[in-house]
Amino acid sequence: MLQITRPGGVWRIGFAHAKLAARGALPGAYGYDLAVHALRRARVAGVPAGALVSAAMPVSWMVNSGTTSRIFQRWLSPPLAPLWAELSARLEGGTLRWPTLPAAEREAVARDAATLAGVGTLAGMSKVLAALHPETVPLMDDAALWYAKDAVPRPASADAPLAGPELFVPMLDWFAESVEAARDPLTDLARHYSTAPLDAAQVLDRLVWFESWGYRHSHARPGRRWWWVKAGEREAIVPVDATPPARPAADRVDLETVDAGNWRDEAQAALDGAWA
């Protein structure tokens, strides 16, 4: 069982492999994961992460970055261009190294992030850095920051992110702690995921996207739908194939308020399975 700590307490992530598969079937997610792996191979071959920033920027568009090419141009030009290499050097080493970084180095990360995100957005900047350093940096859309830190209101749209750069370092802290606390199950999920090469940190990042936002995509197409359901003190994102009730897709459905029937029975069984 995979569980993580959120502001409201422990959150169970059931059906994790199925969620990864559902996300990996999306064209943008599929291309993004393969591109990130190509960037990782370039780094292993000796290309400095700072030299790969220009390649990572268009890659970020595959995970719905709203950053424009004009902002990319500003980021790649003086005086901002050197900040990417400085950030990259401090983000090396993954979720094991990040918590050990000295305070002065963390402060430098916060300053550089504030400067870059001040030109664009935290979400857009994070999507470039997550392509370069997936072992350290998650995608920082507002939905992820709401889910992980309750730092912004739960968004109704991904088109106008509100989160500011002051959340960059706190989110890195939460992500590192969460990856290390669940490294064994995350590593096992990565080992059994065949759509694209992922590591433990990437698995958690993909699941945070699905739990906080991505499950809504299933309501816009035929086939299996995922729902945020609750019964008593238990809640989870679960799959339900039966005909759904007439409710907005993003609502948390309290099963005690749903009339008896196939949908509720299947949802309750799925919730029980997520908590088994």
pLDDT at 213: 94
CA-atom Rg of the chain in angstroms: 19
Q: Please report, for the chain, the start and end positions of each structural domain, with discontinuous segments joined by +.
A: 17-212, 218-274
SS3 226: strand
Looking at residue 250, what is its pLDDT?
A: 64
Residue corresponding to tokens 């990864």: 20
CA distance 152 to 154: 6
Nearest 5 degrees, angle CA 228-CA 190-CA 271?
Answer: 25
Q: Report pLDDT for 259.
A: 86
The single residue listed with the structure tokens 């957005």 is: 121
Instruction: Please list the pLDDT of the chain residue by residue as tens digits (276 residues).
Output: 799 999 989 999 999 999 999 999 999 999 999 999 999 999 999 999 989 999 999 999 999 999 999 999 999 999 999 999 999 999 999 999 999 999 999 999 999 999 999 999 999 999 999 999 999 999 999 999 999 999 999 998 888 899 999 999 999 999 999 999 999 999 999 999 999 999 999 999 999 999 999 999 898 877 789 999 999 999 999 999 988 877 766 689 999 988 889 999 999 999 999 998
pLDDT at residue 249 in the model: 64
Q: What is the pLDDT of residue 223?
A: 76
Write 157-162 long-range contacts (CB < 8 A, 24+).
158/64, 158/213, 159/66, 161/66, 161/121, 161/122, 161/123, 161/124
Residue 273: which residues within 8 A CB-CB, separation 6 or more? Answer: 14, 15, 238
What is the dihedral sign for C-alpha 111, 162, 228, 17? negative
Tell me the pTM. Answer: 0.96
